[in-house]
Amino acid sequence: MLIRIAFDITIAADGPTPVLLALSPRPEEMARIAAEPMRVAAVSATNQGPNQETDLTPRWFRDAFGNERGRLVLPAGSHRITWEGLATDDGRPDPVVPDAIQHPVEDLPDDVLQYLQPSRYCESDLVIQEAWDRFGAVPTGWAKMQAICDFAHGNLRFDYKTASPFRTAHSSLSEGRAVCRDFAHMVIAFARALNIPARYASGFLGDIGWRDMGAGDFCAWTEIWLGGRWYTFDARYNAPRIGRIIMVRGRDAADVPMLTSFGPTRLESFQVSCEEVPDPQPSRVMAPPPRGVAAQ
């Protein structure tokens, strides 16, 4: 299948402001995406007449987690950041592998160990006792992770209007309200408290195979190391989904904010779309991988 992904974001800066962008799909995802370069257009009023548009070009680099990041300095005024791509997808939901095992810590790969540590939004050290009280008796592996997702899904109420940059996994336990990143943070914190490597991922997710909730959006979820690879768990929906397109990965949302400004900025508009579109040339769709194999 083909999935159209796009965003149109406008922010304003009071003066020259350095910013970091985390709005590009992961490098390995770009192999299945046809797209033009991201455009950052500065729109500013002049004394000579109507507004003028001037393109700005980010300088791209790879961060410590392998994400594609952009950096630039925004002049004073409003700035429109736009991008559109067409991605191929095999149309299969997130894999479910009930017999995927949990590895002893001593057997974990070196690069996975960092995903056992507490982080800014995932204070696994503060929920250790609760994690073992609630899930310690659940069989290790997939069943334990599903129990954690069931708990987060049943105890957090999704509410866009209550989104907070200060909410953590620990505080969400008492608040009971969440957006998608809060669901992900709670799952990560409990998993790490139980010695299961867990990392944060976010990207595009539309409503393919799901009830219509709009034109699609950015979404956050969790990736868990079981059976020698990373698997997707999404406590917000608590069901396999189709058509995820990963933008960033990190320890939690603090590692991969979509836009970091080093000075005052204001969000003026924010639109995202992610939707299946007809394929005019089916023969060009990427062949699906064998059953049970997915990009990691």
**Is 223 in contact with 231 (CB distance < 8 Å)?**
yes
The answer to the question of residue 264 being in a domain is yes
Mean pLDDT of the chain: 90
Question: Total domain count for the chain?
Answer: 2
The answer to the question of residue 214 being in a domain is yes
The answer on 191 and 73 residing in a single domain is no
Q: Tens of pLDDT along 179-214?
A: 999 999 999 999 999 999 999 999 999 999 887 666
The answer to the question of residue 265 being in a domain is yes
The answer on 79 and 32 residing in a single domain is yes
Q: How many C-beta neighbours within 10 Å does residue 296 have? A: 10
The answer on 268 and 244 residing in a single domain is no
What Å distances lie between residue 154 and 2, 186, 278, CA to CA? Answer: 33, 12, 36
Give percent above pLDDT 70 in the chain. 89
Residue-level pLDDT at 59: 95
Q: Tens of pLDDT along 51-99?
A: 455 678 999 999 999 999 999 999 999 999 999 999 999 999 999 999 9
The least confident of 23-32, 220-229, 275-284 is 275-284
The answer to the question of residue 73 being in a domain is yes
CATH number at residue 192: 3.10.620.30
The answer on 86 and 39 residing in a single domain is yes
Sequence-distant (≥ 6) Cβ neighbours of residue 120 within 8 angstroms: 168, 251, 252, 253, 254
The answer on 154 and 67 residing in a single domain is no
The answer to the question of residue 192 being in a domain is yes
> How far is the C-alpha of 164 from the C-alpha of 181, rounded, in Å?
10
Q: How many C-beta neighbours within 10 Å does residue 229 have? A: 14
The answer to the question of residue 291 being in a domain is no
Write out the residue range of the structural domain in which residue 167 sits.
105-255
Q: Tens of pLDDT along 154-179?
A: 999 998 888 888 899 999 988 988 99
As beta bridge partners, residue 266 has 12
Residue-level pLDDT at 182: 96
The least confident of 42-56, 191-205, 226-240, 248-262 is 42-56
The answer on 140 and 37 residing in a single domain is no
Question: What is the band of 294 on the pLDDT scale with cuts at 50, 70, 90?
Answer: very low
> How far is the C-alpha of 283 from the C-alpha of 285, rounded, in Å?
6
Residue 245, judged by CB atoms within 10 A of its CB (0-12, 13-18, 19+), counts as buried
What is the DSSP annotation of 13-76?
Answer: ESS-EEEEE--SPPTTGGGGEEEPPPEEEEEEEETTEEEEEEEE-PEEEE-TTS-EEEEEEEPS
199 closest CA partner among 224, 181, 169: 224
CATH number at residue 65: 2.60.40.2250
The answer on 116 and 6 residing in a single domain is no
Quote the strand ranges of the chain, DSSP E.
Answer: 2-13, 17-21, 33-35, 39-46, 49-56, 59-62, 68-74, 77-88, 157-158, 177-178, 198-205, 217-226, 229-233, 245-250, 259-261, 265-277
The answer on 177 and 43 residing in a single domain is no
What is the DSSP annotation of 238-257?
Answer: -S--B--EEEEEESSGGG--
The answer on 247 and 110 residing in a single domain is yes
The answer on 247 and 124 residing in a single domain is yes
The answer on 84 and 29 residing in a single domain is yes
Q: Tens of pLDDT along 37-57?
A: 999 997 754 444 444 556 789
Helix (H, G, I), strand (E, B) or coil at 262: coil
The answer to the question of residue 62 being in a domain is yes
The answer on 269 and 238 residing in a single domain is no
pLDDT at residue 286 is higher than 60: no
The answer to the question of residue 207 being in a domain is yes
> How far is the C-alpha of 2 from the C-alpha of 50, rounded, in Å?
39
Q: What is the CA radius of gyration of the chain?
A: 20
pTM of the model: 0.89
